[in-house]
């Protein structure tokens, strides 16, 4: 092993040169280096040094990510062989040192170096998930994988295979909070094929430009993968009761472009959850987004009719009717995996009744609320005024109601004073919020420019433009000689365009 150190430590040069390497110099140095490392057998990395040390204890993954990754994979292959020979009975404690090395790599690798080591990096991410499951702690891999995603793409705006691994693992382990910082990022890009940059090391590149299928850092992302990701993310946000994030993910699923009359089952299931989540947010029967496919819309309302019924009763029906409808359909909700969400809907009905009173009153006695609102969970009013006061107090403390609860004093009854609808902010807070908003807008403008450029340079788009030009020539001829007057209708070509978005 000692003889290999000059090769293994030949890149990057240490200490680093005073004048940083140009992109061209970096690229020319790392490509042959990776090629030479790949030629080494896995057994080579299992050898100890002359001092009996493990190479994983010598190399720093933040500085020497490439040899560390190959040594790590060699150890993994050795452990997998041992597991097979032991018929999968290897004590988990024996695998903990390997697990610690995997976590160390995922949380510290050099993101520039691993652009040239994509397949191996993705394999380590996948192994982390599998080993965590084998150790009986699948949630332990969520944070390291989330860290790896952010190292590769600080904005986490390109949907990769690692995102899919993360969302599945977080949902399976219910380790929601650790995954949320990744899942709440807006997905703007899907990895492309056939467009990998000449010099992946360039620090001027946006993440979506080097996170390509050719890089190996991700596999090809299918429509099914996209729908699953948004569905899993929504379920995680529902678990966290982050209703706005959940609604956004579900909306991404139900508005996904479809061809013909076929509608994915995932989209239908997303619609059911979306209906309930929107009811929790607004208290009203939701209206489908205008960009929803018409065939999908029909399927949603046909298959999701029981959910539409619940939404209608939540908005306009009585608490007792809503309670009866939900109890009667419990087999449906349970079969769809939405029984828990339905219970949340039941509990939210009286809260929405109370909030609606703010449009009519500035101040209102708690006794009036007690007499005129009903719990949908039981179908009857709460048993006492103190229970109503407890409910109101809980709503205020959790930010579900803006107002002040004033307790009874002498002959004066307890009452609720609703806060003004418009929030009054101090000047410093307003300035900070404006600065944050400007930062988000500037980032959004750059993303819009990038996505516009990508779309208008897609092969499918250019083909579509050529077809439209041909149609225009044909239409001019038809106009002159009395051709078809229905050329404005959307046809298959327009549907094809949606497949690139």
Instruction: Reply yes or no on whether the pLDDT at 205 is more than 60.
Output: yes
Q: Are 241 and 219 in contact (CB under 8 A)?
A: no
Cα-based distances in Å from 53 to 62, 109, 254, 279: 19, 21, 55, 61
Residue whose tokens read 């009719």? 305
Which two structure tokens, joined as six digits, stand for 33?
Answer: 């280096």
Spatial distance between the Cα atoms of 31 and 119, rounded to a whole number of angstroms: 15
Please, where are the H alpha helices in 363-458?
366-372, 385-397, 427-456
**DSSP character string of 279-291:** HHHHSS-----TT
Return the pLDDT at 447.
66
Higher pLDDT: 1 or 340? It is 340
Q: What is the mean pLDDT of residues 23-33?
A: 97
Spatial distance between the Cα atoms of 275 and 285, rounded to a whole number of angstroms: 8
Cis preceding-peptide flag for 12 (omega within 30 of 0): yes
Q: What is the mean pLDDT of residues 71-96?
A: 80
Spatial distance between the Cα atoms of 400 and 287, rounded to a whole number of angstroms: 23
Could you tell me where the beta strands, DSSP code E, fall in 39-192? none
Cis preceding-peptide flag for 5 (omega within 30 of 0): no
Which two structure tokens, joined as six digits, stand for 60?
Answer: 């720093």
Higher pLDDT: 180 or 476? It is 180
Tens digit of each residue's pLDDT (9 = 90 or more) over 290-329:
999 999 999 999 999 999 999 999 999 999 999 999 999 9
Dihedrals phi, psi of 412, to nearest 5 degrees: -85, 120
Torsion sign (Cα): 232, 236, 241, 242:
negative
Tens digit of each residue's pLDDT (9 = 90 or more) over 441-470:
776 676 666 666 555 555 555 565 566 666
Higher pLDDT: 492 or 367? It is 367
Spatial distance between the Cα atoms of 128 and 120, rounded to a whole number of angstroms: 12
Return the pLDDT at 426.
58
- CA nearest neighbour of 200 among 210, 189, 213: 210
Spatial distance between the Cα atoms of 143 and 132, rounded to a whole number of angstroms: 12
Domain ranges of the chain: 2-151, 434-500
């Amino acid at each position: 092993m000692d003889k290999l150190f000059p090769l293994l430590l030949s890149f990057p040069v240490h200490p680093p040169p005073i004048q940083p390497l140009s992109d061209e110099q970096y690229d020319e140095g790392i490509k042959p280096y990776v090629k030479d490392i790949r030629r080494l057998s896995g057994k080579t990395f299992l050898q100890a040094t002359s001092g009996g040390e493990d190479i994983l204890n010598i190399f720093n993954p933040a500085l020497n990510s490439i040899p560390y990754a190959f040594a790590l994979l060699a150890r993994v292959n050795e452990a997998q062989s041992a597991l097979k020979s032991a018929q999968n009975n290897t004590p988990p404690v024996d695998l903990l040192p390997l697990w610690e090395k995997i976590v160390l790599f995922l949380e510290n690798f050099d993101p520039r170096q691993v652009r040239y080591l994509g397949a191996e990096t993705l394999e380590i991410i996948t192994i982390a998930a599998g080993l965590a499951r084998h150790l009986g702690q699948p949630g332990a891999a969520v944070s390291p994988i989330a860290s790896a995603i952010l190292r590769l793409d600080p904005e986490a705006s390109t949907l990769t295979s690692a995102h899919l691994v993360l969302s599945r693992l977080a949902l399976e382990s219910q380790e929601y909070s650790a995954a949320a910082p990744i899942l709440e990022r807006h997905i703007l890009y899907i990895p492309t094929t056939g467009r990998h940059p000449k010099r992946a090391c360039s620090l001027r590149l946006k993440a979506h430009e080097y996170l390509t299928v050719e890089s190996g850092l991700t596999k090809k992302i299918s429509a099914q993968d996209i729908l699953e990701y948004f569905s899993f993310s929504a379920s995680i946000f529902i678990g966290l009761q982050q209703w706005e994030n959940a609604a956004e993910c579900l909306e991404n699923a139900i508005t996904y472009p479809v061809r013909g009359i076929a509608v994915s089952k995932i989209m239908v299931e997303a619609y059911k959850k979306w209906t309930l989540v929107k009811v929790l947010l607004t208290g009203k029967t939701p209206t489908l987004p205008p960009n929803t496919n018409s065939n999908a819309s029909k399927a949603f309302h046909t298959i999701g009719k029981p959910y539409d019924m619940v939404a209608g009763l939540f908005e306009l029906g009585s608490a007792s009717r809503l309670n009866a409808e939900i109890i009667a359909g419990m087999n449906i909700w349970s079969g769809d995996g939405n029984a828990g969400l339905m219970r949340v809907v039941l509990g939210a009905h009286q809260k929405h009744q109370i909030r609606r009173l703010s449009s009519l009153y500035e101040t209102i006695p708690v006794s009036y609320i007690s007499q005129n609102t009903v719990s949908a969970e039981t179908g009857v009013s709460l048993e006492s005024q103190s229970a109503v006061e407890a409910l109101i107090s809980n709503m205020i403390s959790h930010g579900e109601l803006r107002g002040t609860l004033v307790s009874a004093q002498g002959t004066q009854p307890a009452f609720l004073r609703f806060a003004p609808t418009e929030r009054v902010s101090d000047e410093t807070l307003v300035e900070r919020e404006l600065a944050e908003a400007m930062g988000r807008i500037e980032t959004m403008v750059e993303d819009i420019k990038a996505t516009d450029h990508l779309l208008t340079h897609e092969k499918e788009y250019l083909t579509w433009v050529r077809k439209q030009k041909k149609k225009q020539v044909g239409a001019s001829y038809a106009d002159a000689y009395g051709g078809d007057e229905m050329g404005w209708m959307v046809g298959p070509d327009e549907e094809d365009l949606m497949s690139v978005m």
